[in-house]
Amino acid sequence: MPLRLPCTRWLALYLFSSSVLAASPDGVVAVSHPAAAAAGARMLAAGGNAIDAAAAVQFALNVVEPQSSGIGGGGFMLIHLAKTNETFIVDSRERAPARARADMFAPEGLPMEFPLASTSGLAVGVPGTVRGVDTALRRWGIKKLADTLAPAIELAEHGFRVNRFLAADIVNDGGRTQLHPETAAIFRPGGVPLAEGDWLVQPDLARTFRLLAAKGPDAFYRGQLARAIVEAQQRSRSELGAAGQGRMTLADLQHYQVAIREPLVGHYRGWTLAGMPPPSSGGLTVLQMLGLLERFPLGDATQGYGFGSPKTLHVMIEAMRLAFADRAVWIGDDDAVAVPRQGLLHPDYLATRAALIKTDRRMDTPQAGDPAPWDKTAGQPKPSRIKEESPHTTHFSIVDRWGNVVSYTSTIEFTWGSGITVPGYGFLLNNELTDFNFVPSADAAEGNPGANDVAPGKRPRSSMAPTLLFRNGKPVAAYGSPGGATIINSVLNVTLNLIDHGMTMQQAIDAPRLSVTHATGKASCEGGQTFMQPPISTATLDALRKLGHAGLGEAGMEGCRETIGSVQGIVIDPSNGAHRGAADARREGAVTRLRAETASTATRH
């Protein structure tokens, strides 16, 4: 097909870029792809609110970032309503089907190989995105579902230009766009992977969105489309045979429900943060790390700390190792297994854990602590209020003219999810169930609750961490990131940059990040790209190496070459109410602002 622009004027916005930071008294959308940012702007310009814009962005991302999220997956939408000053979460995380069992990824006691298991139907969780978005729209939106689908329908129908990130993910797919013919036909037509600049049209996906627009979410969870989903996830890899077939049934789809959850709320140096409770580990782990770090003067260069100093990075690494040790044992879906969230965040428990951090050396591999003595609810069920991990994933943040805020992270788990495209419908299915433990960990004798073992109807543990930052009871920033377990550390880095190091949102996003995701793990850090300022120096890395930290390369070498996350953020200036956005150059981030009922886009390349 020849390269051509769609006729829709709104979509052309993203081709004309200027600056990165945008300010507006009306609405701001910060997204990882400019076409999706334009879709959100279209809703705001038409009188919609942040929830309407979030729906449009999510559907558009299914078109332009199909490797990261879509209607075959799930996510967490963190919402703040300005009028009532309420903050809550629409949890559309995927669920295990009713026939799921704790040992299904280790049927003979030995875990399946991840590449095989994650590209078989066994890995597919019951998708929640469609039900989650529809629930948010019906309760708090202004526009109808069909309105918010319109930009995505046009994008899928008319096509868009493949950017370098999508092209790279097709080439470096680990085989996932090649295993199933429907997926290969879209992203490798004629056996040739799409390249940057190619035009991608997705007619099957456009028809699916038109079906949802006409008949609503029940068209996804019942009927012909539901039967196609069930049939598609019965595929397996030949090496696994019948053991790799999915266990989802029509009943699982029909009975899927979202949960409306209260956010997890914590405090750091006088600021308040609202984030994700379980089944995500994101909010708990971020708040735990902040609690461990609060006793160290991270922003004080006169005491040897400050951004990028050896002392600051050392205590950050140690806090990550301690928090991830607790995460591995204690955090899962607490609708199924009670999570000791009060104990994990109790000041006295945090004090015992922080005491393990020594400023002059790396600690030995820490074990999970025992938060039970500080948890009044330990052993009690924690039902949600039912009102009706991955290198990729995607995150976006939105504020509208009324001050409503959405911070939304969504995913199909691994890049390209299961690699299975539903035949005739054009969307990928997730491989979310591989976020569960492959080998059951429950052990009463060892005190291990098996918090993340597979169980029927259970949600797998997530790392997603959409976040709102408050000052004096009012939201001042919203942000989050993709990146599997590194999501947690990307959010931590940005939070410290904002609060301890006094950076603007754009500076906080641009700054190089540090990450450790295992108690025994090696540190990874960013560098080598000009926008990552200020850089982490070789002298700092040498100092960390002398303290015993691994993963930073050889002595005297730069050692920081990773890319960690992709944070998209908005800011509400408490002094004048101005709305600003900041995009991440780690992807093709874009900020779209609404001013005088017109939209303009600033793209970060």
Among all residues, which ones are annotated catalytic? Answer: 393
Element housing 541 (H / E): helix 538-546
236 contacts 245 by C-beta, under 8 angstroms? yes
Element housing 217 (H / E): none
> For residues 185 and 119, what is the distance between their CA atoms, to the nearest angstrom?
17
Q: Which two tokens stand for residue 358?
A: 């020594």
> For residues 151 and 148, what is the distance between their CA atoms, to the nearest angstrom?
7
> For residues 229 and 72, what is the distance between their CA atoms, to the nearest angstrom?
9
552 C-beta neighbours (distance < 10 Å), count? 24
Query: Which residues are CB-neighbours of 65 under 8 A, at least 6 positions away?
Result: 32, 33, 36, 166, 392, 394
> For residues 536 and 558, what is the distance between their CA atoms, to the nearest angstrom?
8
> For residues 498 and 492, what is the distance between their CA atoms, to the nearest angstrom?
10
> Per DSSP, which regions of 72-184 are E strands?
74-81, 86-91, 160-161
By CB atoms closer than 10 A (0-12, 13-18, 19+), residue 588 is: buried
The length of the chain, given as a count of residues: 605
Q: Give, as one character, the DSSP assignment of residue 562.
A: B
Across 521-535, b (16+ Cβ under 10 Å) vs e yields bebbbbbeeeebeeb
